[in-house]
Structure formats: structure tokens, C-alpha cells
Amino acid sequence: MLFKDVLVDESLKKRLIGLVKENRISHAQLFLAQAGSHAFALAMAYAQYICCEHPGEDDSCGTCPSCAKFAKLSHPDVHIIFPNCTTNEVKKDPDFTQFAAKFRQFVFDHNYHIDINDWLMELGGENKQAYINTRDCAFIVNQNSIKSYEGGYKIYIIWSADRLYRDAAPKLLKTLEEPENKTLFILITENTEKMLSTILSRTQLVKIPKLKTEVIQQQLMKEFGIDEVQAADIATLADGNYNRAMELMNDDSDYKDMLAQVQLILGSMTSLAQPMPNKAEVNFLEVRDCFDSIIARGREYQKNFLAAFIHVLRAMLMQNSHQEAVSKASSMEKDIIERYAKVFSLKNVSQIFDECNRTMYHIERNGNSSLVFTDWYLKVAELIAPRP
């Protein structure tokens, strides 16, 4: 991966290149990314530049033997560690090495725009919690004592580092603090709150800013050949998330399914919240079927549904605050906002956010999804009920 092909702020690329030129590479760096950013691609471009035999002023040469190995994600001194879980093929004691070939193909298929939810679907483990486990960390510790194959840097790229299993993460502390000479750890995450403070304290933070709308627009035009107006609309709705922009290119995207589910459930909630609810309008049987559909698509989808619900609530707050940004919503989002914005206010929406986050918490910890969603539904309905 060359820097020129990475969708990220140019000043950040220059900063990383400067660290290499000035020989100021910190041995452990934490790439804090925004959702849908090109963080993995940036980490690979950075690693490739470090290992390149003939680096230029602002990029790798792209032609030396080292660069050729990077193009195939097969450099022997670069180890990519990622979340994994048991699957139909790997029924016991999984580790990342068993899925290495599948992960490489996944990266190529998605042109380095990788997302944990897509990876779980690829694994067939969307109903399970994927982690970077103790076996993965043991590999890193053992490998760290071995000299590099090509005499240069050994680089460990830990993707979705927030999924370092709690029992596994402490095994890396000593290695992160006192690695062998010419060793670089790049941890990539979108959520530092889920990481141990002892891991965070041993890394240098590199913040990856949200992609600008103009950058996404230009890339969509280049990659999909769409016109400027359509690209601008999609880029605006994507709000800095290129993965979401690609989903919006697909008429059958998960996000559109989620919005339809949000609309159905909001309609039922607002009917239930009335002093004298109309049973037909509440239509809980259809809501229950909707929950069954959400649950059947896996825990990651369940959390993404709740994130979509929160996104729509925020848009409603902007509507109620007369913010012009709401006009950039999609037509489906606008329909939901216009119907239900009056039901929500600053008085109840913060509590509803708390309920959504609490529900995500229980889903992540393998709570019974049917009970968790039913409880969430009833509590939100109670919060939006008119007060005397």
C-alpha cells in the first residue's frame, strides 16, 4: 500500500514520513481512527515506507522486493493480528494464524476499506464475540524474541486492538514496554474506552481525523464513476465514514434496512407512550418480528441498529434546534425525522441515549437479546410518554 493511495489527511502522511526520515519512530503507536477511516491502509503504507529499500521523499518506491511483498501482504517481518473466533471450520482454540489467508483476501476484496462487522460476516461468526486472544498474544511475545528475517524492522499491526481479550492484553505489557531493537507495534482502534489503561499508557497516540466530505466525494467519483452531484449527496450522508458511503452506493445496504426497522419501532413506541394506547397502532406482534429479524443477523448488527437509532435521534435534536445540517439527511431519514421529532427533546433524549448504550453493553456481554430489546423498547416508550 502506497501513501498516495491512502484516504487520509495529507499532513498526517507527512508527519509519519518525517518520523521515519528523522529516525524518531516510537516503538508502540496507537492509531485512533474514526469509523470508516482508512486506518489499516495507513498502517500498511507506514510499515511499507519503513521497510522500503529505496524510499522516496513522500512515498515508498513500490518496486523493490520489500514493496512487492507488501503488495501481497506477505512480508515475513510484518505480522497482522486481528480478532478471531470459533467457526464451522475452526471449532476449538482459534488464533489469527488459522485465518491469515482469509483475512488477506478480505483486505484485497475490500480494497483496504475494512470494517469489523464485515470481517465477522466473512468469518461466519457474526453471532459470536471475536477477540484477539491469549494464543495471539503468545505468538507476539514468542516472535518478538526472534530476529527479523530481512535484518530490518519487525512490525506488528494489531487491528481492532479494542478487542484485545482482557486476559490476553496483560501478556503484551512487558513486550510493549521493552521490545527488541527495531520493533514497531501499531495498534488500531476506534474506541480507546474499551482498552486497558496500561496498554494505552505504553503507546504514542496518533489521531486519524475524520475524512472530509470533498475527499469522499472525489474518491466515489473515481472508484464508482458516478456524477458529481450524486457523489456529493452520498459523501454528505456518509459524514466522514467511507465504509458507510460505499454502503449507501448499494440499494440493499444494511443501513437502509436499519432505517426501516427504526421507523417501525419508533412508530410503535410513540403509540405505546400515549395515555390511551391504540392496540392496532402499537402492533407489538410486528415489532417482535422486527426484533427477531434484527437478532437473527447477529450481535454486531444489533449494536449497529442501536447506533442507527441514536443517529436518527441526534438528527431530530438538530431539527428541533433549527440546525441547517438536518437538511443533509437522506430522504428516508428526513421522513422519520419529520414524523417523530416532536416526541423528543433535550429532557428525554439523554436518558434514551443512556438506555441505548446500556442495551449495547448487555448485547456485548451475551445477554439474551430478545429480553434485552424488549426491555429497551418498554423503557424508551416510557421515557417519551407525555408528562402531566
Q: What is the pLDDT of residues 206-265, one digit of tens each?
A: 999 888 888 999 999 998 888 888 788 788 777 788 888 887 776 546 777 888 999 999
- Quick check: 327 pLDDT over 80? no
| SS3 state of residue 84 | strand
Concatenated DSSP letters for 139-177?
HHHHHHTSPPSSSS-EEEEEETGGGB-TTTGGGGHHHHH
The mean per-residue pLDDT over the stretch 313-319 comes to 84
* pLDDT mean over 37-62: 97
Residue 252 DSSP one-character state: T
What pTM did the predictor assign?
Answer: 0.73
pLDDT in tens, 102-147: 999 999 999 999 999 889 889 886 567 899 999 999 999 999 889 8
Q: Spell out the domains of the chain, with CATH numbers in brackets.
A: 3-207 (3.40.50.300), 251-384 (1.20.272)
Of 248, 362, 251, which Cα lies nearest the Cα of 308? 248
Q: What is the mean pLDDT of the chain?
A: 90
Tell me what pLDDT residue 298 has.
87
Mean pLDDT value of segment 21-34? 95
Percent of the chain with pLDDT over 90: 59
pLDDT at 59 over 80: yes
Q: What is the pLDDT of residue 328?
A: 60
pLDDT at residue 167, as a whole number: 85
Integer Cα distance of 294 and 133 in angstroms: 28
Residue 199 has which C-alpha cell?
496498554
pLDDT value at residue 255: 73
| Residues 150-166, mean pLDDT to the nearest whole number | 94
According to the model, what pLDDT value does residue 24 have?
94
Q: Tens digit of pLDDT for each residue in 270-298?
A: 999 998 888 889 999 999 999 999 999 88
Indicate the pLDDT class of residue 323, thresholds 50, 70 and 90: low
Q: How far lies 10's CA from each of 39, 213, 267, 384, in Å? A: 13, 15, 45, 45
Beta carbons of 245 and 216 less than 8 angstroms apart? yes
The residue with greater pLDDT, 348 or 40, is: 40
Edge-first strand listing for the sheet containing 78-81: 78-81, 154-159, 183-189, 28-32, 204-207
Q: What is the pLDDT at residue 13?
A: 96
Given a cut of 90, is residue 100 above it in pLDDT? yes
Residue 12 has pLDDT above 60, yes or no: yes
- The confidence score (pLDDT) of residue 388 equals 61
Instruction: Say which residue the cell 452506493 belongs to.
Output: 249
Residue 340: name the closest of 276, 252, 265, 232 by CA: 265
pLDDT at residue 251, rounded to an integer: 52
pLDDT exceeds cutoff 90 at 25 = yes
pLDDT of residue 349: 86
**pLDDT value at residue 317:** 84
CA separation (Å) from 149 to 21, 23, 64, 78?
23, 21, 16, 10
Q: What is the arithmetic mean of pLDDT over 321-337?
A: 69
Cell output for 353: 441515549
